[in-house]
Structure 1
Amino acid sequence: MNADTAPTAAAEPRDAAGRPPVRAATPADAEVITRMRSEHVLSAPFTEDWVRQCTDELAPRLTPEGDARAFVVDAADGTMAACALGLIHPVLPAPAYPRGRAARVQLVATHPDHRRRGYARAVVSALLDHLAAVEDVTLFELHTSPEAAPLYREFGFSGNPALMRMTRHRQRAGVVPGAQPDSTWVPPQQYADSLPRAAAYVCLYVTDEDDRPLQLHSVYSPGHPWHMIGGAMDLGERPWDAVVRECREETGMAAAGPPRLLATVYGLPRERRPYSTLQLIFDGGRLTAEQIRGITLNPREHDEVRVLPLAEWEALMPARDFVRLRAVEEARRTGVAAYVDTWGNA
């Protein structure tokens, strides 16, 4: 915690009584408080991954139901000038703290541009007063530096500011005592790189008014000559948004929601495709004869629209494709979503 013990300049802003205007922090302040801790308290600043992780951890704890309380002073330009954060926790009761509630002052930070204006004193005072009066806390703890210790002694703290600390990870089975512990958290990109690869696809199952499946003939995929409207999802694209896009690109039609999922289809990796596939198949409804005649194909992808009874499609498609089509037809007919995990096994 940094020291801010002797005001040497007129503090701006000030309230009507000439004091720094302190306010209670909200979940929206979590990221700025995290960055204040990273940049002005810790010896080594956080990486952006750690900033996000700590922000996500702190935000819900700053709600009335959470265990964190913070007070801040805002600078005139709207940035945060100072903050104090306390964490409430239970302890075994004693005569000095009969309710068994304690609070640790986790951090006090002041931006270098706003130090020595009494801001640290103001936020700490507001935090301690709130914890005592509102949260019924009577035991307070903190770790601080020798430079900042005089400020906290003025509030009634005593003892050696340089308390010993230890971080201990839970030992896992098979780990040799004294060996270097493995971290339980890795950066998001490293974790993502360790996951199995999969390609995501969406399809739209449509029929005519007699419930005969409609399919498109591919000009580029002899292994899958007939298939439903659809294609691969773009990075970051939501499944239904991909359906709407693919339907417009392949047929000129606008897919009408709301989304209704008919089937999930999984494909195992293969030698020429070293990743899994996952398909989400949605119900596109029934089209009138006029709507079918109005379909406009993209000649780079398809050259024919055909509507046939389900049984007649079997002779025109690979077995694995027909298994999928039959499962989707049954899902719409019965109202029970289908799950197929044999796609690409043949």
Structure 2
Amino acid sequence: MNRDALPTATAKPPTATARPATPDDAESIIRMRSAYVLSTPLSEEWIRRCTDELAPRLTEAGDARAFVVTAPDGSMAACALGLIHPVLPAPAYPRGLAARVHVVATRPEERRRGYARAVVSMLLDHLSQVEHVTLFELHTSIEAAPLYRELGFAGSPALMRMTRLDEPATARTSPPSGPDWMPPEQYAATLPKSTAFACMYFTDEDNRPLQLHSVYSPSHPWQLVGGTMELGERPWETAVRECREETGLTVSGPPRLLATVFGLPGAQWPYSTLGMVFDGGRLTTAQIRDIALNPQEHDEVRILPLAEWKAPMPARDFARLTTLEKARRTGEAAYFGTWDWGDE
């Protein structure tokens, strides 16, 4: 997706009209994708191969649809490419057709003129009104996401979705001036998705935090006891189960919430993350000695004074640990809202 499709209130209106793309536009679209979408530009061999692949798909019998803006010098100024694919029918997509907005690109010198909005709008209108596509997906940058939200998409930039039902206006039950009602399944498809986790915060009897060394996550080497919630579980149930699986310890409660943790999606994970960290209590020397690690997840138990945890941990991880220590010490539950998935 294009990183430059930013909405702006001061954008100049397009000086050219978007038009449907033809097979003759395939090479220009591929070159736009290579130059302005991909992190590594394509070689000439790959440009040729991709052009040969795309050209026949831009015909009426193909599964690709695109709209382009041509600059005064005849070159391509902007383009939007969508790929149609079948899905199992559902109330939100009764014809079983979906489309992925695969490429949106504008040449740098032609930006801030509304071209991206023009080509994307015409592509979406054509796909929904002519091809009867009702489910749309795309991924984009954080900077460009506001444009797609204005066009009806919802979710995180890593995965934005939209449904457009081609039902007649007479079938609507809400007043024209009021909000449109959507069936629960359709509405749910427009909402941002998240995964959830639950953890225990343990210390020894001297209030030194205990953490486990991960064998699978070099970006987060030292971890709390806990993990991802399973279907049907409540957060406390997850924390107790994960504690038992990872350490052999059984925590009986009652639950005492130390912090709620939230993170936005990023390069490594397409969903937001929401977690709860409970106070596992202070472990005795005997309890710590009896910890039995799952070798597929962790290979070391370590206990350090809080300040000494700073060196072996990423800054964000240490900030969360510091927040938990303060919550335990003050008795006030904390909110840690910057547990974002970065580009690590």
User: Which TM-score applies when normalising by structure 2?
Assistant: 0.48
Q: Max radius of gyration: which structure? A: 1
TM-score (normalizing by structure 1): 0.48
